[in-house]
Structure 1
Amino acid sequence: MSEKEKSHTDMNCNGEIPIYPSYKNGESVPCLTEKERNESNHKGKKARQVEMTVHITDGNKCCTDKWTSRERYLFCACTLLFTACLVFIAVAFFRSRIDNIYGDNSAIQAMDTSVEPCEDFFQFACGNWNKRNMIPEDKPSFNTFEKLHDDLQIKLKGLLEEQFAVKDNKAIKKAKVLYRSCMNISQIENIGEAPLRTMISKIGGFPVLDPSWSESSFSLEDMLGIIRGQYNTPVVMYSNVGADDKKSTSNIIQLDQPELGLPSRHYYLDDQNSSFVRSYLKYMKDIAVLLGADELRARKEMEDVLKFETMLANVTTPDNERHDTGLLYRKMTIQALQALVPQFDWLKYFTHFIPFNLDEKENIVTYAPEYLVKMMGVIQNTDKRTVANYIVIRTIFVFVPELTEKFRAARREYRRVSEGISRDIPRWQKCVEYANKKLGVIVGAMFVKDNFQKKSKDTALSMIHNIRAAFNELLHENAWMDHKTREVAMEKLFIDERTYFENVLRLELFEAKNAMKKLREPVDKDQWEQDPAVVNAFYNPNTNDIVFPAGILQPPFYSDVFPKSLNYGGIGVVIGHEITHGFDDKGRQYDKFGNLKQWWDNGTINAFRHRAQCMIDQYSSYKLDQIGLNIDGKNTQGENIADNGGLKQAYRAYSKWVERHGEELLLPGLKLSNRQLFFLNYAQIWCGNMRDEEALEKIRTSVHSPGSIRVLGPLSNSEDFAEVYQCPKGSRMNPIHKCSVW
């Protein structure tokens, strides 16, 4: 029962719930005790709507014999009017609570009750939501998360567009200035691509623009080091400073295989003539031409670039073969790295972005030593002009969204083919996203101050305790307030309202320097790596904690006015999901201190792998009919294990809550029990549609299964779901054979 309901009923029956059969004037209102109410609910009786009543304390009389008939009439009329007003207020309050629960896209409106829930619960829960919510022209997909993201963006827009106030500190002013500089389209157009050309010159030049470009002046180490250190862009290989997986209190230099220009290696290797590859090649050529390259030369040289990147893609390891971090992890000195890849001067490269004196005894960790060897072989067999063109065009791509309209139009055309979108998101939304991405701690502080109540945090903490008592201290919504050193560092960042592109470059440099200076610092396990104003949740194996930003604590995941069934079916499952990540295919490899270590015996590991293989096989059998391809059960296994474990934990926690507090009132308008509502809300979190292009990319690259599979998979494995919805044994949602890891 919510606090509002409790105080409401206390006014009538001292905490007991009044029931309302017809009764004679002046009779006491009959009340159900807590025990009787629980028994009634257990029998499946619908609780009646709570109303407020007023009692006249003088026996059975509404007025006294001493009054005149007019006085008696007026007194009774006033009493009836007063009673009617109180009833109206009570109904309005209850109606408001119901509106807050249901909203414009309510559970009722989202459901397609013509579908049998035991055959396809996703369509049952989301069929009408998907019909009512078409994918906007500027998005590759639209789902519950996207909708909440859009709602959050509107709130952030209001905060960033507020005029400067006396109470604003320097950090808040910088966030507002950054947003304004992004919105200043006329100034961006006036400045043009001049700052980009300056950047290209600092990198070492763009050969396609200069027929006289000389290979003799080209240094691979300098070019890669400069773009990593000054422009925060790793190309050809990934490099960073982060927590050492086997010594989680220390930071270390990390090397890995890179992200490619296309979403995954499959796009290069499966079909070189696909529309995706052709549009990617055209995009590279168009950008070069916009910068002044001859069109024929640009086409030829970008074709060479594509061939080079295809060779790089071919020597990368597929993502679904990179789940065992213990096998990937390899610590060595720079001296050993130099011996492994002797064609590259590693110390010279690191000097460009590591702000400390390094020697050959410095330790590094590489997660892809074989890739580094093969990568250098590809580079050695490619002319330097092509290598330089590739590095520069990939770096330019990072900054195209911040350039003038003609560059953004070229990107928009590429995205039309690769993602199926036909226009960019509104400029204000792009600027809000950028400010939140780059100054997320500041923007998050603004959001939390105006939109987040401490009660929400306290309730979420209580739910975490109920789901996994051992993790009862792991929510740190207010961590952004504690890192004064971050605020001091932020003061050094200069933001100018007139020079947006330069602001972008300054932010990239700021981020790169902050990341690299951690090398000689211990790992700060209390520091948030995520920002508060996002709709997501996270598990960090190096710190062994789960993080729930304020942005996700909103409907349909959570609300103060929701019954516990909805909250546990929403944010409760998310909490369970993130906790389970500590014990999935990757998380199980880290001990309680966040160190990569085998802390299970071999028998336990083999049993885990056997159970995980069941889930891999199950999910690999699911076909996404939209594009006719099956899910990659191996690549998605960690998230699938977390979905299944989170659902089970949250339902058990909700059941224990009911045991302690009794059944909740049933919601009017839904012919569903509270336990059925738990599973319905879980399913409706995943309502959504995606374009074919997005579906293909998700199948090929994502560690998350599509939304429909995140409903069908866990629920068909759940004995609790089958019991609550009374699904026959052998039905689609209650198969004979089920998979379970946790």
Structure 2
Amino acid sequence: MRETVRELELSVQPSPQPEPEGRLRPPPLLQLAVSTQDPPVADQQLQTDLLPLELQQRAKPLSIKYRLLLGVLLGFSVCAAIVALIYFVHFQGRSHHADGGAPCLSPACQWASTHLSRSADPFQHPCDYFLSTCTLNKVGRQSGQDAAAHSGNQREEVTTPQERAQSRQTHKGLGEEMIPDRKSLLLLHLRDILESNDSPGRTSLQKARRFYQSCLDTEAIEKAREEPFLQLVQTLGGWPVTQNRTDFNSTLGLLMREYATFPFFSLRVGPKEPGETANGENKIYIQIDQPDLLIPVQWNSHAEKSQSNNQAIRPFLATWERYLTLLGFQPMTWIVPVGMFTSLSSELAVATAPLPYRLSKGLLYQNMTIRELQSQAPAIDWLGCLQATFHPHPVTQDDLVLLHNLPYILQMSGIISKWATTHEMSSSNPLHWYMVLHLLHTLVPALDSRFSETAKNLSVALGSTEGVSPRWKRCVLDTESGFEQVLKNLLSEKMAHREATEMMRNVFSSFKAKLQEQRWTNKSVQMVIERVESLSPRLWTAKDTSGEAELDLIFSKVGTQSFFSNYIQLLSSRQKRRVKLLSERTEAADVLSVAPRLLGNELLFPMGMFAPPLFHPTYPRAFNYGVIGFLMAKDILHMILPDIHSQSEAVRAVAECIWAHYLTVTGKKGELSLSATQQQEVWVQYSALQIALRAYQQSLKKYPSDASILGLSHTRLFLTSFSQVNCDSDKYSEFMPLEPSFLITVLCAKSDLCPASLQCLKNTQQYSVTTC
């Protein structure tokens, strides 16, 4: 005990060095107790011996009282030291919490730290950071360059904040500083999975990886040239010359089943309408639509029909002449077939109609039995073709199918009958030519670069400005389309279900609170609120129960041969997936979906939303909520409140307040006011930021601790991660008149939420900031 007391005494001795600024100093009582010390024992005894006897006798009780006083003072000192220690620990703990908690050191956080450190700090240079617009950012942006930023391509290092800000303005169009769009990042994540070596025991996953690698092996593809396709044509009965009398419908059924090729109409499987359910389950139908057009047409809105596009005829003819030349045909042998193919393509194309017209005329989701369809469009053996396509699932004459353009189906049947009759005695079979060349169109991605370059030249000639995707992205998309079940199961296993579920529920709860706070002008909004209350948010994960052995059987022939052979197997497996979907009567989760959707009374959040690098379970929650939380809230607002501008007076008021703030900060004068659509988008994105922040604060109440990146506080990390979201990542970006990160300045106006003032130092004009 004596040693313990001595240690405490030593621990509270005043330091001879000056206290650092901001360090806690001991209370006055503690200082007094420490400065009062017992005199040395020898000196005390000497003084006592020199006193007279009477005084010595009186000194003993004084000495006892003195020691008791010292004991009391020492006790107070110990208690004061303990109180000070508790206060110090508590204060430091609160300060540590305010600074964002312990640093996150996971590999994912290291990537996020590097990314944020290379980006301009929105709280250090708000002028350079916030004052650009979405329109400017779109200049020069290319999808392939967006993805390159995360794949490891480094640009020249910049050091000073001014250089970082200037660099950001210079390179923003290339997407090197801001997070690319969600779909590109999801493809990058899938590429990482396909290029890794984990899960070596999974045969189906290894087949997917071999397929992906065969797609990247351009040297082998170039070496094979056109020979794989020529061999395939021979298995279909050869080129359509006089001796070829292959049955039209049997060839059509074969193309549909084995090669997912639909020359005369398109085929898909799904529910009647998005969100339709029956008895809690989806009703799945065979759906028949007009085909994807090979030759473009022009829509005449006055006559309400399509017309030939004469400017497209010449490049279309040249393309197919080039294809047949590459396949070894001499000019005199392909003139007639290409001419008939072009004529038949044009005739079918002008029978089609654009989607808006079909919607306005109620031509979508018209149902009839296969028997009724056969009587109205007899040129196609509908029952035979559908039975072949969906084998082994039973298809009968009385099954319902959904039609999305019945007038086209009827005209298509008449055109086929006419061509079959007219050219019955011809030296060529134009319908067979048409189907084989359609198959060539399907398989061009699996052939060498001469064919892909020809296809690219046609697209350019027809006015397409879409850039060519990098090879790896094409290969990831092809792999996903064939191995969706494999990747879906793998993503579901790797997904952080608990963290994603918590975020999903907090964001949806915050969204509902936002609805209750709105000032509504339309009484019908009560129906919207009731609809929202009936919704149940759920993660849209894989429900497929296929075992590893079943998956191995499905993909038994895939991934072990050339890319051309693998591609054919991919098309076949794609069709088998349609069969399974029809048999199980359930709609499968979309692997590449990155936005929520409504299905009945369920609000589904797909797995693709929670893939790295936008989301990771080891990230601080501030980072996850600042990016994915905002995107989730924005998607929900767009989906559930598509016309909020006409339902709430707050939309215009908030948007005009934000726009006025923007004009004041930037010093722009005489700018036009925002349109109703722009006002709605500004309100949506500002509300989404508020919803995400409230959801994060709700999470902090339940789990007060949260990690940090770069030592940033919770709120600052949340807002800094939000500032990385680019403004052209969705289809509504064209209506956003300013960079979303500017909304941080509005949120921080006259608020204690933000760790620093966001005044623009370059703007010498004083302006008053209002809270919108």
Q: Which of the five TM-score ranges fits, normalised by the shorter chain?
A: 0.5 to 0.7
Match of 2:627 among 564, 570, 575: 570
Deviation at 1:312, TM superposition (A): 2.9
1:400 partner SS: helix
The residue number in structure 2 matching 1:48 is: none
Q: Which amino acid aligns with 1:397?
A: H
Match of 1:182 among 215, 218, 236: 215
The residue number in structure 1 matching 2:267 is: 239
Aligned 1:711-726 pairs, distance under 5 A: 711-712=736-737
C-alpha contact (below 8 Å) 1:338/1:344 kept by paired residues:
yes
Q: Structure 1's 511 and 543: CA in aligned 2 closer, same or farther, altered over 3 A? A: farther
Q: Which amino acid aligns with 1:571?
A: I
Q: Structure 1's 464 and 398: CA in aligned 2 closer, same or farther, altered over 3 A? A: farther
Distance, in Å, in 2 between the alignment partners of 1:643 and 1:234 is 43
Deviation at 1:372, TM superposition (A): 0.9
Matched, 1:230 2:266: no
Q: Structure 1's 719 and 280: CA in aligned 2 closer, same or farther, altered over 3 A? A: same
Q: Which amino acid aligns with 1:651?
A: Q
When structure 1 is superposed on structure 2, of 537-546 and 325-334 the one drifting more is 537-546
The residue number in structure 2 matching 1:100 is: 112
Q: Which amino acid aligns with 2:437?
A: I
Match of 2:553 among 488, 491, 497: 491
The residue number in structure 2 matching 1:399 is: 443
1:105-143: CA deviation from partner (whole Å, max 9, x where unpaired): 63649999668968946658999767415669xxxxx95
Distance, in Å, in 1 between the alignment partners of 2:409 and 2:131 is 50
TM-score (norm 1): 0.61
Distance, in Å, in 2 between the alignment partners of 1:113 and 1:329 is 52
Q: Structure 1's 500 and 671: CA in aligned 2 closer, same or farther, altered over 3 A? A: closer
1:605-641: CA deviation from partner (whole Å, max 9, x where unpaired): xx999879xx9xxxxxxxxxxxxxxxxxxxxx9x999
Aligned 1:12-51 pairs, distance under 5 A: 22-23=21-22, 26-27=25-26
Q: Structure 1's 473 and 406: CA in aligned 2 closer, same or farther, altered over 3 A? A: same
Match of 1:389 among 422, 433, 437: 433
Deviation at 1:687, TM superposition (A): 4.3
Q: Structure 1's 491 and 299: CA in aligned 2 closer, same or farther, altered over 3 A? A: same
Q: Which amino acid aligns with 1:199?
A: L
C-alpha contact (below 8 Å) 1:537/1:549 kept by paired residues:
no
Deviation at 1:436, TM superposition (A): 3.1
1:106 partner SS: coil
The residue number in structure 1 matching 2:349 is: 313
Match of 2:605 among 547, 555, 567: 547
Matched, 1:463 2:506: yes
Distance, in Å, in 2 between the alignment partners of 1:157 and 1:111 is 40
The residue number in structure 2 matching 1:360 is: 397
Deviation at 1:368, TM superposition (A): 1.5
Q: Structure 1's 220 and 567: CA in aligned 2 closer, same or farther, altered over 3 A? A: same
The residue number in structure 1 matching 2:171 is: 132
Gaps of 5+ in 1: 1-19, 29-55, 67-85, 137-141, 586-606, 616-636, 689-703, 727-742
2:193 partner SS: helix
The residue number in structure 2 matching 1:11 is: none
Q: How many residues align?
A: 571
Q: Which amino acid aligns with 1:182?
A: C
The residue number in structure 1 matching 2:690 is: 651
Matched, 1:475 2:546: no
C-alpha contact (below 8 Å) 1:464/1:472 kept by paired residues:
no
Distance, in Å, in 2 between the alignment partners of 1:667 and 1:26 is 29
C-alpha contact (below 8 Å) 2:538/2:605 kept by paired residues:
yes
C-alpha contact (below 8 Å) 2:540/2:589 kept by paired residues:
no
Match of 2:579 among 516, 520, 523: 516
The residue number in structure 1 matching 2:670 is: none
1:126-185: CA deviation from partner (whole Å, max 9, x where unpaired): 99767415669xxxxx953465256425523431xx3884xx122223223323443455
C-alpha contact (below 8 Å) 1:281/1:302 kept by paired residues:
yes
Q: Which amino acid aligns with 1:546?
A: L
C-alpha contact (below 8 Å) 1:535/1:552 kept by paired residues:
no
1:371-391: CA deviation from partner (whole Å, max 9, x where unpaired): 212333444455664444333
Deviation at 1:281, TM superposition (A): 4.1
C-alpha contact (below 8 Å) 2:595/2:609 kept by paired residues:
no
Deviation at 1:475, TM superposition (A): 0.6
The residue number in structure 2 matching 1:684 is: 725
The residue number in structure 1 matching 2:731 is: 705
Distance, in Å, in 1 between the alignment partners of 2:123 and 2:482 is 35
When structure 1 is superposed on structure 2, of 412-421 and 176-185 the one drifting more is 412-421
The residue number in structure 2 matching 1:40 is: none
Deviation at 1:410, TM superposition (A): 3.1
Distance, in Å, in 2 between the alignment partners of 1:113 and 1:499 is 54
Distance, in Å, in 1 between the alignment partners of 2:249 and 2:231 is 20
Distance, in Å, in 1 between the alignment partners of 2:330 and 2:366 is 45
1:328 partner SS: coil
1:327-364: CA deviation from partner (whole Å, max 9, x where unpaired): 62211112211232233332232232132554432221
Q: Structure 1's 91 and 280: CA in aligned 2 closer, same or farther, altered over 3 A? A: same
Query: How large is the Cα RMSD of the aligned pairs?
Result: 5.6
TM-score (norm 2): 0.59
C-alpha contact (below 8 Å) 2:317/2:339 kept by paired residues:
yes
Distance, in Å, in 2 between the alignment partners of 1:202 and 1:100 is 53
Deviation at 1:228, TM superposition (A): 1.0
C-alpha contact (below 8 Å) 2:366/2:402 kept by paired residues:
yes
Distance, in Å, in 1 between the alignment partners of 2:182 and 2:251 is 39
Deviation at 1:462, TM superposition (A): 3.4
C-alpha contact (below 8 Å) 1:153/1:433 kept by paired residues:
no
C-alpha contact (below 8 Å) 1:229/1:353 kept by paired residues:
yes
Aligned 1:520-531 pairs, distance under 5 A: 521-524=583-586, 528-531=588-591
Gaps of 5+ in 2: 1-18, 41-92, 140-165, 424-428, 513-532, 652-676, 751-772
1:504-550: CA deviation from partner (whole Å, max 9, x where unpaired): 2223222213322544x34235xx3322xx47235264785423224
The residue number in structure 2 matching 1:258 is: 291
Match of 1:438 among 479, 482, 492: 482
Q: Which amino acid aligns with 2:282?
A: T
Distance, in Å, in 2 between the alignment partners of 1:367 and 1:60 is 91
Distance, in Å, in 2 between the alignment partners of 1:273 and 1:672 is 63
Distance, in Å, in 1 between the alignment partners of 2:631 and 2:413 is 42
Q: Which amino acid aligns with 2:400?
A: N
Distance, in Å, in 1 between the alignment partners of 2:361 and 2:634 is 20
Q: Which amino acid aligns with 2:261?
A: T
When structure 1 is superposed on structure 2, of 659-668 and 117-126 the one drifting more is 659-668
1:242 partner SS: strand
C-alpha contact (below 8 Å) 2:534/2:601 kept by paired residues:
no
Deviation at 1:722, TM superposition (A): 7.1
The residue number in structure 2 matching 1:425 is: 470
2:325 partner SS: helix
When structure 1 is superposed on structure 2, of 368-377 and 539-548 the one drifting more is 539-548
The residue number in structure 1 matching 2:522 is: none
Q: Structure 1's 657 and 665: CA in aligned 2 closer, same or farther, altered over 3 A? A: closer
Aligned 1:9-88 pairs, distance under 5 A: 22-23=21-22, 26-27=25-26
Q: Give me the identity figure in percent.
A: 15
The residue number in structure 2 matching 1:221 is: 249
Deviation at 1:255, TM superposition (A): 0.9
1:498 partner SS: coil
Q: Which amino acid aligns with 2:586?
A: D
Distance, in Å, in 2 between the alignment partners of 1:373 and 1:464 is 49
The residue number in structure 2 matching 1:80 is: none
Q: Structure 1's 719 and 203: CA in aligned 2 closer, same or farther, altered over 3 A? A: same
C-alpha contact (below 8 Å) 1:250/1:523 kept by paired residues:
yes
